Structure 1
Amino acid sequence: MVELRDTQQSRVIGQKVLRPREQVEERIRVAILSGELKTGDLLPPEVELARQFNVSRTTVREALRSLTTQGLIYKVPGSRGGNFVQLIDHHSLGTAVIDSVHNLLTLGSIEFTEVAEVRQHLEVPAVRLAAANRSAEDLERLRDIVRRQKSASVDDPEVPKLDEQFHSLIAQASGNRVLASFVSALHHETEPVHYLDLSPDVGRATVRQHKAIVDAIAAQDPDAAEDAIVKHLTYLRKHLAAHVKR
């Protein structure tokens, strides 16, 4: 005797029913991610969106607030303002990371040392990839930063920015845009130079270490590049720790 199975019982035809605010949010998100709405496009006014979706303006406002938090749109105040579609690329990823990490640090939800530790771990694969993938332009930009650092005094206000650019450029030279976004964002929030006693000796040692990193990248030697950046980061941790303890 052949048993007949009721396939109707296992068929899935249902799906999650979204609340009005979620429906509005999801429809606009799909329009942005599909390219139906492009970067810089102005969304219809709240009253018009409420009419189109047949929901209240409060519902529309909540959906737009959520999309703003996600970095998909931004609001410009004033009579000529409104809600615009945000540029979405690897740079916006870095911006989102900066904002999130900054807020968490401000709230005390995470520690500075935790962020710095993650950044340092990410810089090792970044420098190895940079040694393998760097272009002649990448190399020249890194050398230019080292030249500028060498001629700058320790109290030059440009020193922290040059240090951030140096580490960010290495990550960019890796060719991995996601990795570059994270390294740049985390370095922006930790900026170790701000927490160091930048004596002339520390300044000279940092420049020498940066030059060694660039030389290894120039030679396209990932092992030497990793060794150089690990020595540099270890040196920074030592002086950072000494500074924090005082």
Structure 2
Amino acid sequence: MQEQAIIKSSISKQIAEQLRAAIVSGRFKSGERLPTEDELATRYGVSRATVREALKRLAAQNLVRSKRGPAGGNFVNQPTHAELAESLSGAATLLVGLGALDIDEIIEARRLLQGSCLKLASTSATLTQIKEVESALLQQKNLSLSDKAFCDADVAFHRALVDASGNGMVRFVMYTIIEALVPITNMVVAYVKDRREIIAFHEALLSALKQRDQHMLATVLDNLLDYLHERFSVAKAQHEQKSR
């Protein structure tokens, strides 16, 4: 058997991985300035261009931000929950699109995890957070929204509900699940086009949140997810018929 040559990782990638490990381990704190490009180039024995490429990799992961001027440089960034979840949600969305995750699994995960979010939100949501949920719903009611904009507003609404839970780890996980459902929501909206039903469920969720009614929140969420599951089947059939 003929052996194939092993392709080694690029030097800039290896430097980025080492710097990332230092950030994750806490050696570099959030907001702290990293060594200069010259200092890093000397430390690793590489050119400034290689260091610059490594820093670009970290910036793409929202771990580093650059600042110009006399007090400028490269600083450790503290990504938001949404930014951190984005990389995971991209993978989840891809799995959904490829059929590796089916609708039953996604609905079940959302029922369990978002149900927990709503339970927390019913007791811990601030008035400001409830206003944010209300604002997201108001945006979704805009009749002039395109299908894509409507789905974006749908994501914003559920993110606002998750934020109201006040639990950072739950928010991080739920952002991924919400984003993973976007392809499904897009299909439902594009082929079934019944926005009024979705808005009605969202109005009921907001009302139950304002009343701090855990039982009603759970009931409405169950009904919404059952509706999405059923309408997805209809939308999928219409999509397949159109494709044929």
Task: Provide TM-score, normalisation by structure 1.
Answer: 0.68
What is the DSSP-based 3-state SS (H/G/I as helix, E as strand, rest coil) of the residue aligned with 1:220? coil
CA separation of 1:138 and 1:104: change in aligned 2, threshold 3 A: same
Equivalent positions of 1:121-140 (< 5 A) are 121-140=112-131
Count of residue pairs the alignment pairs up: 220
Measured against aligned partners, the alpha-carbon deviations of 1:148-185 in whole angstroms (never above 9, x if no partner) come to 43452575653112211111111000111221222223
User: Once structures 1 and 2 are overlaid, which stretch shifts more, 192-201 or 207-216?
Assistant: 192-201
What is the DSSP-based 3-state SS (H/G/I as helix, E as strand, rest coil) of the residue aligned with 2:152? helix
The letter of the residue matching 2:100 is: I
Counterpart position of 2:101: 111
Rounded to whole Å, the distance in 1 between the matches of 2:192 and 2:61 is: 44
Counterpart position of 1:181: 172
Rounded to whole Å, the distance in 1 between the matches of 2:31 and 2:77 is: 6
Rounded to whole Å, the distance in 2 between the matches of 1:233 and 1:171 is: 16
Larger-gyration structure (1/2): 1
CA contact (8 A) 2:129 2:160 kept: yes
Rounded to whole Å, the distance in 2 between the matches of 1:173 and 1:165 is: 12
Equivalent positions of 1:45-194 (< 5 A) are 45=37, 48-53=39-44, 72-73=63-64, 85-102=76-93, 104=95, 108=98, 110-111=100-101, 113=103, 114-115=105-106, 117-152=108-143, 155=146, 157-191=148-182, 192-194=184-186
Rounded to whole Å, the distance in 1 between the matches of 2:122 and 2:199 is: 19
CA contact (8 A) 1:152 1:159 kept: no
CA separation of 1:168 and 1:149: change in aligned 2, threshold 3 A: same
CA contact (8 A) 1:154 1:198 kept: no
CA contact (8 A) 2:147 2:189 kept: no
CA contact (8 A) 1:116 1:186 kept: no
CA drift of 1:235 comes to 0.5
Rounded to whole Å, the distance in 1 between the matches of 2:61 and 2:166 is: 26
Rounded to whole Å, the distance in 2 between the matches of 1:100 and 1:68 is: 19
Measured against aligned partners, the alpha-carbon deviations of 1:104-145 in whole angstroms (never above 9, x if no partner) come to 556x48336344543343211111111121111222222333
Rounded to whole Å, the distance in 2 between the matches of 1:205 and 1:116 is: 18
Rounded to whole Å, the distance in 1 between the matches of 2:16 and 2:151 is: 44
Counterpart position of 2:210: 218
The letter of the residue matching 2:115 is: V
The letter of the residue matching 1:177 is: G
CA separation of 1:125 and 1:157: change in aligned 2, threshold 3 A: same
The letter of the residue matching 1:85 is: V
The letter of the residue matching 1:180 is: R
Of residues 217, 229, 232 in structure 2, which corresponds to 1:237? 229
Identity %: 21
Counterpart position of 2:196: 204
CA contact (8 A) 1:164 1:188 kept: yes
Task: Provide TM-score, normalisation by structure 2.
Answer: 0.68
Measured against aligned partners, the alpha-carbon deviations of 1:1-39 in whole angstroms (never above 9, x if no partner) come to xxxxxxxxxxxxxxxxxxx99899557633564364543
Measured against aligned partners, the alpha-carbon deviations of 1:74-127 in whole angstroms (never above 9, x if no partner) come to 799xxxxx9753324534432232243345556x48336344543343211111
Which runs of 5 or more structure 1 residues have no equivalent in the other structure?
1-19, 77-81
Which runs of 5 or more structure 2 residues have no equivalent in the other structure?
1-10, 68-72, 239-244
CA separation of 1:179 and 1:222: change in aligned 2, threshold 3 A: same
CA drift of 1:217 comes to 0.9
CA contact (8 A) 1:94 1:182 kept: yes
